[in-house]
Amino acid sequence: MTSARFEELEKRCAKLKKTRIIRIVFIIGSLFLIGFGSYYWMSHSTSKSLVPTVAPMPQIVLVQTPVVENNESNESISNEEQNLSQSTDDEILFLAPHIYKNDAKLPLDETQAATRSLSHEQQLLKRYNTMQNFDNAYALAQFYFEQKSYLEVVAWAKEASRHNSRSEKPWILYAKAKFYLGDRAEAIRSLELFLSYINSKEAEELLIFYKGQE
């Protein structure tokens, strides 16, 4: 095959290849246009179907209200408006929270009692620090027993007994405090120990009572 014939054949192949590419591009473009046109037509028809139908505007009919010249009617209307306004105010006031100032304060009697108790305690402690003896220690034990501070009662009953071990008073307060603290066995043991070397009718009666609580 000569070179001239080879070049002619090569040109013919290139031309056929170019023609084929153009045809493919044309087919793709035609398909794209057809698809876009179909989509546009469908979306346009759908949007038209979704447009709401505008209902006709209702006509406004003017009704002429007759003028009432009777003063009694005007007064009754005014009274009704006033009653309505008053009832509304009453409802608002009813729904509003009520604040009672007296509820925020402690009762006066309890405040005064607490103040007196604190003052009395300070006086008893000051008296015992000044003179440490049986009477001042027992006065503190008795004070705390009245205040139901039973742990303090136990401590000061021991202190009073240290000054006078033969007195039944601190032993009885000690036993009562232990019993109220829930230690009934210790209350009985302390009374039995005291009665083992000193006779006391009050301590014996208290011991019998505690043993009967079993």
CA separation for the pair 40, 32 (Å, rounded): 12
Higher model confidence: residue 126 or residue 85?
126
DSSP letter string over 75-138? Answer: HHHHHHHHHHHHHHHHHHHHHSPP--GGGGSPPHHHHHHHHHHHHHHHHHHHHHHHS-SHHHHH
CATH number of 108-211: 1.25.40.10
Higher model confidence: residue 127 or residue 214?
127
pLDDT of 139 strictly over 90: yes
Confidence (pLDDT) at 63: 42
User: What is the residue extent of each domain of the chain?
Assistant: 108-211
Confidence (pLDDT) at 135: 95
The per-residue pLDDT for range 164-190, each reduced to its tens digit, is 989 999 999 999 999 999 999 999 999
pLDDT of 24 strictly over 80: yes
The per-residue pLDDT for range 42-60, each reduced to its tens digit, is 776 655 444 444 444 444 3
Confidence (pLDDT) at 64: 47
